[in-house]
Structure 1
């Protein structure tokens, strides 16, 4: 598992570049194969709008919670006050696998767990959600996912 298929993070010379266009071009083909919650999340018009409130870029992974009885995983992402007005919680139902390759840091202010971008793909009757962070990747395979945006406290909105 690992490494997104369509979203590019470097150009042909290896220079940093975040480009979801190849994924967005394939998304109309992929979306009908996704379970309902994953489809709704992946096709949200704001998901890849870098200037939009609901773009996942720059969210910070805050915590995770595992519910063994429900076989569910929740990831909690904190907003970026310069960009978002909401936090994001993603709940994976019917968790099939979780693979992480994340840097270990002692500095809580580190950008290591800031989201660069993600991809949601069909996978064995469910979905595969790969999240690329500045400090590694997380790949979740599940029956489906639901994404919920909730209001966040961000007192300083000056830019």
Structure 2
């Protein structure tokens, strides 16, 4: 990741997650992002670690790759990622849909590996790209990076009761 720190240091404390640098650069970056990616990246809850719409601790539960012409002539198809909530933190699941996907890269899992080997989501980072945007998602373990024309993110009702109100 270019801005998000997965092993930051604050004083003597190490191993801290920090989106501070990314959030500082986000106003400039968002102006260069496609509309859906910009909306998701700048959502006020996206990097609020105590918020219900923070991506931290979600689990990838679905990886649906569509094929064929997307109508733009710039991508190979579509990708839909489904993320399952963490009942201690979230009340909703997250679905991210990518349009005109040109690259999908899975790193850091050893061989053989697949998306099913990814653990909980740690954090993500969306950056402008010549073909739209890149979305890098860091998991425990591994990373998934998608390059696409744009993405849309939708939070949907889950089957988990709100454990924090109980």
Name the TM-score, length of structure 2 as normaliser.
Answer: 0.84
Question: Bigger CA drift: 12-21 or 26-35?
Answer: 12-21
The number of aligned residues is 151
Q: Is the 1:96–1:141 Cα contact (8 Å) retained in structure 2?
A: yes
Match of 1:5 in 2: 2
What SS is found at the alignment partner of 2:90? coil
Q: Is the 2:95–2:154 Cα contact (8 Å) retained in structure 1?
A: yes
1:150 is aligned to 2:152: no
List runs of 5+ in structure 1 lacking aligned partners. Answer: 105-109
**CA shift at 1:102, angstroms?**
5.0
Match of 2:53 in 1: 54
What SS is found at the alignment partner of 1:11? strand
Match of 1:37 in 2: 36
**CA shift at 1:103, angstroms?**
3.0
Alpha carbons of structure 1 residues 102 and 62: separation in structure 2 relative to 1, 3 Å: farther
Q: Encode CA deviations 1:76-118: one digit per residue, 9 max, x unaligned.
A: 10000000000001010000100002537xxxxx994211000
Q: Encode CA deviations 1:10-66: one digit per residue, 9 max, x unaligned.
A: 135893110000000000000010000000000000000001111000000112001
Instruction: State the alpha-carbon separation in 1 of the partners of residues 131 and 26 from structure 2.
Output: 17
What SS is found at the alignment partner of 2:87? coil
Instruction: State the alpha-carbon separation in 2 of the partners of residues 156 and 119 from structure 1.
Output: 27
What SS is found at the alignment partner of 1:53? coil
Q: Is the 1:111–1:134 Cα contact (8 Å) retained in structure 2?
A: no
Instruction: State the alpha-carbon separation in 2 of the partners of residues 47 and 132 from structure 1.
Output: 14
Match of 2:94 in 1: 88
Match of 2:73 in 1: none
**CA shift at 1:156, angstroms?**
6.6
Q: Is the 1:57–1:116 Cα contact (8 Å) retained in structure 2?
A: yes
Q: Decide which of 95, 117, 124 is 2:123's aligned counterpart.
A: 117
